[in-house]
């Protein structure tokens, strides 16, 4: 995803009341030692480091016909530096490393009792992915525009992406328009390992565009809507699955709506986000996310709840029908529902240092879905935990 939001405002270190009072004054030179909220490059250089542990639950022994029950664990490290350049530019460098171990379903077959079961991909794989991205952003009085280039490299997959985004405010600053476009070229070179792979190299091209608007509704409410269209052409199957033959084009539309409401007496914000997604493979889905961002004296704690439900792809079946034109037994294309419960805690240690912690639990089940369909045997549950530290200096 390309970030098309306005830059995050730094977590202030004083009380919400003083922050609000100070905000009125930031346009005046006498107070401009404080970080500015206008569309201007950050007044400081920011260096950040985040570490995330992603860990999938072992697959249920009863659902496995053959192979290990351990699934993926991923260690993700994000490092970035973002700095102002001159009066109206900023540059950010992002480096991300993902180290992944574990096994994944190879194909689904029938067990002796007639129930579908998973044949896992044998020995644990290890894969390291490094993504490097550079974003330059230009700020003017009523908006900002960014250009970013990113490159992702791993043993068997390489992706190069270019994105351009802009957001601008209307004259009364009550409405902000956002648009972005991106293009990416992915190249697969599947590694020949324990499981046989039937291609040696394949390409995938993706074009995507987003257009959205956010509108201030009242002094405590703001809403936005947006539409995202993405078109991919090329090799879209999963080379590490035995029975996976997908169309070579994929059209996707995502409609999103968001709402934020600040409750003054509670000193907290309600966050509501909804997305409807539909694609040319017959999948559509609803995603609803609710958060409660509670201000504490020097920190912000945000418990959140996410519900997701998708309809299976036209060519999905629990046990793939290889006589069809397209077929897949990938659980990710089945009908199911998923619930995420999580919390995020951002702490301003002082003006220069801030910390963040986040933990979430993701659980999925075919019976939680809104759409009908047969239940796939390998739905995933996972934990994710993130710790991060950010340092700002002039």
Q: What are residue 348's phi and psi, to 5 degrees?
A: -95, 105
329 binds another protein (CB under 8 A): no
Calpha distance 383→192 (Å, rounded): 30
Q: How far apart are CA 334 and CA 21, in angstroms?
A: 51
Q: Which is nearer to another protein, 112 or 218 (CB)?
A: 218
Counting other chains too, the contacts that 276-280 makes at CB distance below 8 Å and 24 or more residues apart are 277/252, 277/253, 277/310, 278/252, 278/253, 279/250, 279/251, 279/252, 279/253, 280/247, 280/249, 280/250, 280/251, 280/252
Could you say which of 118, 313, 366, 376 contacts another protein (CB under 8 A)?
313
Q: Least distance from C-beta 111 to another protein, angstroms?
A: 24
Dig out the tokens for 212 from the structure. Answer: 């959205």
For residue 253, how many C-alpha atoms fall within 13 Å in the half-sphere facing its CB?
A: 5
The stretch near another protein (CB under 8 A) out of 20-28, 115-123, 317-325, 367-375 is 20-28
Find out whether 299 and 348 touch, Cβ atoms under 8 Å. Answer: yes
Binding pattern for the stretch 253-282 against another protein, x by CB under 8 A and - elsewhere: xxxx-x-x-x-x---xx-x---xxxxxxxx
What number of helices (H) and strands (E) belong to the chain? Answer: 1, 21
| C-beta closer to another protein: residue 51 or 111 | 51
Q: Is 67:106 a contact under the CB 8 Å cutoff?
A: yes
Nearer to another protein, 119 or 272 (CB): 272
Q: Does 160 bind another protein (CB under 8 A)?
A: yes
Q: Which of residues 76-115 bind another protein (CB under 8 A)?
A: 76, 78, 80, 94, 98, 100
Residue 163 interacts with another protein (CB under 8 A): yes or no:
yes
Q: How far is the CB of 110 from another protein (least distance, A)?
A: 24
Beta carbon nearer to another protein, 111 or 370: 370
Q: Which of 2, 63, 103, 378 binds another protein (CB under 8 A)?
A: 2
Site for another protein in 282-311 (CB under 8 A): 282-285, 287, 293-295, 297, 300, 302, 308, 310
Q: What is the DSSP letter of 281?
A: T
Secondary structure letter of residue 12 according to DSSP: P
- Give min distance, CB of 263 to another protein, in A: 9
Number of residues that bind another protein (CB under 8 A): 129
Contact 228, 206 (CB under 8 A): no
> Whose Cβ is closer to another protein: residue 22's or residue 69's?
22
Q: Interaction with another protein in 200-229: which residues (CB under 8 A)?
A: 204, 206, 208-210, 212, 214-220, 222, 224-229
Q: Which of 90, 144, 150, 317 binds another protein (CB under 8 A)?
A: 150
CB of residue 72 to another protein, shortest distance in Å:
9
Stretch that binds another protein, among 83-91, 110-118, 136-144, 154-162 (CB under 8 A): 154-162
What gap in Å lies between CA 73 and CA 126, rounded to an integer? 10
By CB under 8 A, which span of 62-70, 107-115, 165-173, 368-376 interacts with another protein?
165-173
- The distance of closest approach from Cβ of residue 114 to another protein in the complex, given in angstroms and rounded to an integer, is 27
CA–CA separation, 94 vs 134, rounded Å?
6
159 binds another protein (CB under 8 A): yes
Candidate residues 69, 83, 91, 332; the one interacting with another protein per rule CB under 8 A = 332
Is 157 an interacting residue with respect to another protein (CB under 8 A)?
yes
DSSP-assigned letter for residue 247 = -
Question: What is the distance of C-alpha 134 from the center of its chain?
Answer: 18
**HSE toward the beta carbon, residue 131, CA cutoff 13 A:** 19
């Amino acid at each position: 995803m390309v970030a098309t939001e306005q830059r995050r405002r730094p977590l202030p270190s004083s009380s919400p009341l003083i922050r609000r009072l100070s905000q009125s004054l930031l346009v005046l030179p006498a107070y401009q030692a404080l970080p500015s909220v206008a569309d201007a490059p950050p007044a400081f250089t920011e260096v950040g480091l985040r570490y995330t542990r992603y860990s999938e639950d072992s697959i249920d022994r009863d659902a496995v016909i053959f192979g290990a029950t351990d699934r993926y664990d991923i260690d993700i490290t994000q490092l970035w530096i973002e700095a102002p350049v001159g009066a109206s530019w900023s540059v950010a460098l992002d480096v991300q490393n993902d180290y992944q171990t574990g096994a994944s379903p190879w194909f689904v077959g029938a067990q002796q009792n007639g129930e579908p079961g998973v044949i896992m991909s044998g020995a644990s794989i290890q894969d390291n992915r490094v993504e490097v991205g550079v974003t330059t952003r230009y700020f003017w009085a009523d908006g900002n525009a960014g250009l970013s280039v990113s490159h992702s490299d791993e043993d068997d997959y390489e992706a190069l992406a270019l994105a351009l985004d802009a957001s601008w405010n209307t004259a009364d600053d009550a409405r902000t328009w956002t648009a972005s476009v991106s293009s990416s070229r992915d190249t697969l070179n599947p590694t020949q390992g324990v499981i046989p792979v039937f291609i040696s190299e394949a390409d995938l091209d993706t074009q995507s565009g987003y257009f959205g608007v956010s509108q201030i509704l009242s002094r405590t409410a703001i809403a936005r809507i947006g539409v995202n269209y993405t078109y991919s052409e090329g090799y879209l199957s999963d080379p590490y699955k035995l029975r996976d033959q997908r169309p070579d084009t994929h059209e996707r539309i995502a409609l999103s709506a968001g709402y934020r409401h600040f409750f003054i007496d509670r000193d907290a914000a309600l966050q509501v986000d909804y997305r409807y997604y539909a694609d040319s493979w017959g999948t559509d889905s609803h995603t609803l996310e609710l958060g409660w961002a509670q201000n504490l004296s020097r920190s912000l704690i945000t418990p959140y709840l996410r519900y997701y439900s998708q309809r299976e792809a036209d060519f999905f079946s629990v046990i793939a029908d290889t006589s069809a034109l397209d077929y897949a037994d990938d659980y990710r294309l089945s009908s199911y529902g998923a619930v995420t419960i999580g919390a995020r805690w951002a702490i301003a240690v002082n003006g220069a240092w801030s910390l963040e912690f986040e933990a979430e639990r993701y659980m999925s089940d075919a019976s939680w879905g809104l759409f009908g369909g047969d239940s796939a045997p390998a739905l995933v549950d996972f934990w994710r935990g993130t710790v991060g530290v950010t340092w700002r200096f002039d």
